[in-house]
Amino acid sequence: MKVFCEVLEELYKKVLLGATLENDSHDYIFYLNPAVSDQDCSTATSLEWANTCRIQGRHQPISVGVAPIAVAPVCLKTNSQMSGSREVMLLQLTVIKVMTTRILSVKTEFHAKEQYRDVIKILLESAKVDSKLICMFQNSDKLLSHMAAQCLALLLYFQLREKITLSNSWIAFCQKNLSECSESNKAIYCLWTLTAIIKEIFKDSCSQKTEILKQFLTHFDTIFEVFYNSLLSQHFENCRDTSKIVNILMCFLELLELLIASRIHLKLHFTCQRILFLKPSCMLEVITWPIQAFVKRKVIIFLKKCLLCKVGEDLCRGSVPALMPPDHHVAVDMLALANAVLQAVNSGLLKTLSVYEKHSFFGGDEVQPGCEHITSPDHVILRAASLVIMKSLEIKFQNCSSASEMKVDLQRFMSELLTFLKPHLQPSLQLHNPCKWLSRVFIEQDDDMLEAAKASLGIYLTLTRGCEATESLTQGKEMWDHHTHENGYNPHCIFLFFLKNIGFDSTVLLDFLISSETCFLEYFVRYLKLLQKDWDNFFTICNNFDATESKYDISICGCVPSLVQDPSTNQTIPHRLTAPHSHRDVCARHSWASDAPSEPLKAVMSKGAHTMCTSSLSSPRASQSLVDYDSSDDSDVESTDQCLANSKQTSLHQQATKEIQDAAGTSRDKKEFSLEPPSRPLVLKEFDTAFSFDCEVAPNDVVSEVGIFYRIVKCFQELQDAICRLRKKNLFPYNPTALLKLLKYIEVISNKTMNTL
């Protein structure tokens, strides 16, 4: 017993370092073959284990008279601390796991890798270690059963990599326990091991990932479909042990997410990878079950990832390509899922979502008698549900040719969404511009906020093209404007609220452009292209913002305005905005809607739009109001520039951020403005000549406060200058020429606008 444990510990140290083995491969089987009783599939007793050791193999134990290996301290118990077969078996499983990992690693020395490969092959062929590990699933010792599952997953992937016939005992075990939805732990271990294998395929750096996955899924394609139907078609309230059903469902969602991710990234089209899109109503039905709120949250987030094509980001450690070529089959399936989601929403799906959550404390989530019970809305659910509906509408409209049908659908589903959000947003949306809902719902998650803004912009552009094809450009203009505002998807309002949230800080926009963690580049380029064509409408909306804030004395960035210095006049200009007389005149001439139907919306707009950044944007840089990129759950790497260099972005982002902060990001002094090219007139100088005659003269000779339009133009110019500086120093991670052309054009038309005031 003592010699056995010493050899096993010494073997563990060698494998941990990737060292070569001195003895023949068969000698190590004596020490690595777990002793399991086939009669009851339970761990053998110490006496049985000792007897088994005496009869295992024909080889003598390896001599331990070798020099000790210098390794880092490891958590190995001494012989006196080892308590029978359990400790020995755990160490055996650990050695098998580390040895298999060493085989799959490219860093392992070739000769050592070949020795490890021989040992594992003998364990699989002669010792039937895979069958023993399956038996250990049923062990009451959770640690032992979990270690067995980990080892088996690695061994099965080893068989796939080495093109060895997959374990027949494992295939039979899965087919038996997944053929119908049972409430046993066997189904959970099947799902967990299958998930672990697909994770290993994604993690591997080999070029045969597609072939390996194809070989693997061939055995389970049919059984996955059967299990999907069996699990999701049952009546949850009739289950005997609902906790096990919940565990099975959570494991299956993780597996299903990987299957869909493998379809998108590895270009396979098995039925098990498409089952969600073929039968989406089954998954949507889970949200209506009388089940815990966290399960519904998991399902709705899963649907969001599917619609955004972000499945697998949290599960696959390997890199995901930034730009994926279009796939017609995936597009068809996405349309089927989007239609199913909208149909479920139309049937009252949102009413079944559990929006309020309990606050968790160190002692749990139960409130003691006499203590106040405080609940708050679950903003994760609000964001996910909103984004699922927006993305479903965008996908459906991309495949719809009838403008009238799109208008009806948009009004119905946006009304349903805003009604769902209204009780959970305080102050109520009815006191504000309806387009503000997006900024208020997504303020804590920047990647989701930009995805929602991009989807909203896509809906607007698709609907605009459809209307232009069937109506004249001037026909029903006021009704069209009313429709966009009433349903909360006007792209200019959404963009203005976004800029207000970040305090019109160009460094935040630059940070978004440099980072690949969000879809801001794609959204920003599409919006700038729209802005070129729809400048007059944009300018009118800016005037409406100014007029509303001036009338009700609502500050854009809080009650205490920050100050900036005008380098041309040495005058201090508050950042708080009001509208000039001409702005008010334009606002008076323009209506959000037409005639009688416009009255409710006029009342909405007259109440003003309180900014969400009142407290968070008191500092010069407003990026603190947004979450860090590292904490985002669902981030996208979409981009419209084919030259995006992902491999350089981290270092370039750090250098660029430091450069822009040193130059213009945080100091907010005269140096910030002096960096503009001398050939271009400064906006501040233009403002001094073009705006001053139309502004009210404030008491005590204080300079009139500037409007939101001016701040946006100034933000764009600062952004353009920063991009130019970074490009000259070769710090920008991609070619910004197209983006700079768009910003330059916006500068030209904005100068023309200000010169006419």
The model's pLDDT over 170-186, given as tens digits with 9 standing for 90+, comes to 999 999 889 876 667 88
The total number of structural domains in the chain stands at: 3
- The reply to whether 104 and 182 lie within a common domain is no
Establish if 615 belongs to a structural domain.
no
CA distances from 407 to 346, 385, 413, 487 (A): 15, 21, 10, 10
- The reply to whether 187 and 265 lie within a common domain is yes
Q: Which of 1-10, 280-289, 346-355, 514-523 has the lowest mean pLDDT?
A: 1-10
Beta strands (DSSP E) in 471-625 are: 563-565, 572-574
Q: Is the pLDDT of residue 749 over 80?
A: yes
Sequence-ordered alpha helix ranges (H) in 435-476 = 437-442, 446-470
Mean pLDDT to the nearest integer, 689-698: 32
- The reply to whether 240 and 277 lie within a common domain is yes
More confident residue, 148 or 137: 148
Q: Is the pLDDT of residue 410 over 70?
A: yes
- The reply to whether 96 and 151 lie within a common domain is yes
More confident residue, 476 or 588: 476
pLDDT band at 354 (very low <50, low <70, confident <90, very high): confident
pLDDT in tens, 616-643: 333 333 333 333 333 334 433 333 343 3
Q: Is the pLDDT of residue 675 over 70?
A: no
Amino acid, single-letter form, for residue 2: K
Q: Residue 359 CB: number of other CB atoms within 10 A?
A: 10
Bridge partners (DSSP) listed for residue 744: none
The C-alpha angle 337, 339, 341, rounded to 5 degrees, equals: 70
More confident residue, 55 or 110: 110
Do residues 428 and 604 lie in contact, with contact meaning Cβ atoms separated by under 8 Å? no
8-state DSSP, 572: E
- For the four alpha carbons of 178, 179, 181 and 186, in that order, the dihedral sign comes to negative
8-state DSSP, 43: E
Classify residue 475 as left (phi > 0), alpha (psi -120 to 50) or beta. beta
How large a percentage of the chain has pLDDT more than 90?
Answer: 42
pLDDT band at 374 (very low <50, low <70, confident <90, very high): low
Name the residue with tokens 């972005």: 649
- The reply to whether 116 and 158 lie within a common domain is yes
Q: Which of 371-385, 576-590, 698-712 has the lowest mean pLDDT?
A: 576-590
Closest CA to 233 of 201, 275, 293, 203: 275
Q: What is the pLDDT of residue 58?
A: 39
Q: Can you give the pTM of this predicted structure?
A: 0.76
- For the four alpha carbons of 361, 362, 366 and 369, in that order, the dihedral sign comes to negative
Q: How far apart are CA 22 and CA 392, in angstroms?
A: 62
Say which residues have a Cβ less than 8 Å from residue 273's Cβ, sequence separation at least 6. 217, 259, 260, 262, 263
Establish if 348 belongs to a structural domain.
no
- The reply to whether 216 and 260 lie within a common domain is yes
Establish if 669 belongs to a structural domain.
no
Residue 135 is part of which domain span? 1-35+81-164
Establish if 730 belongs to a structural domain.
yes
Q: What is the pLDDT of residue 548?
A: 76
Of the three residues 142, 164, 186, the one that is the final residue of a domain is 164
Q: What is the pLDDT of residue 206?
A: 79
**Residue 676 tokens, joined:** 């503009």
Kindly report the backbone phi and psi dihedral angles of residue 608, in degrees, each rounded to the nearest multiple of 5, phi listed first: 90, 170
Closest CA to 419 of 487, 491, 356: 487
Mean pLDDT to the nearest integer, 467-493: 77
Amino acid, single-letter form, for residue 275: I
Task: Name all contacts of 628-631 with Cβ < 8 Å and 24+ positions apart.
Answer: 629/446, 629/447, 629/515, 629/517, 629/518
Kindly report the backbone phi and psi dihedral angles of residue 563, in degrees, each rounded to the nearest multiple of 5, phi listed first: -115, 145
CA distances from 710 to 38, 312, 542, 744 (A): 80, 43, 9, 16
- The reply to whether 194 and 272 lie within a common domain is yes
Q: What is the pLDDT of residue 239?
A: 73
689-705 in b/e form (b: 16+ CB < 10 A) is ebbeeebeeeeeeebbb
- The reply to whether 156 and 178 lie within a common domain is no
Closest CA to 478 of 592, 382, 648: 592
Establish if 302 belongs to a structural domain.
yes
Give first-to-last CA distance, the chain, whole Å.
94
**Residue 393 tokens, joined:** 């509408």
- The reply to whether 100 and 193 lie within a common domain is no
Do residues 470 and 543 lie in contact, with contact meaning Cβ atoms separated by under 8 Å? no
Name the residue with tokens 């549900």: 385
**Residue 33 tokens, joined:** 């073959």
- The reply to whether 113 and 195 lie within a common domain is no
Q: Is the pLDDT of residue 490 over 80?
A: yes
SS3 state at 747 = helix
Of the three residues 122, 139, 164, the one that is the final residue of a domain is 164
Mean pLDDT to the nearest integer, 402-415: 91
Q: Is the pLDDT of residue 166 over 80?
A: yes
Establish if 246 belongs to a structural domain.
yes
How large a percentage of the chain has pLDDT more than 70?
Answer: 66
Of the three residues 108, 130, 164, the one that is the final residue of a domain is 164
Q: How far apart are CA 519 and CA 639, in angstroms?
A: 7
Establish if 294 belongs to a structural domain.
yes
pLDDT in tens, 419-456: 999 888 876 655 457 899 999 999 889 999 999 999 99
- The reply to whether 253 and 125 lie within a common domain is no
- The reply to whether 279 and 332 lie within a common domain is yes
pLDDT band at 366 (very low <50, low <70, confident <90, very high): low
Q: How far apart are CA 464 and CA 480, in angstroms?
A: 9
SS3 state at 722 = helix
Average pLDDT, the chain: 74
Establish if 437 belongs to a structural domain.
no
- For the four alpha carbons of 289, 292, 298 and 304, in that order, the dihedral sign comes to positive
Q: Is the pLDDT of residue 274 over 90?
A: yes
The C-alpha angle 66, 67, 68, rounded to 5 degrees, equals: 115
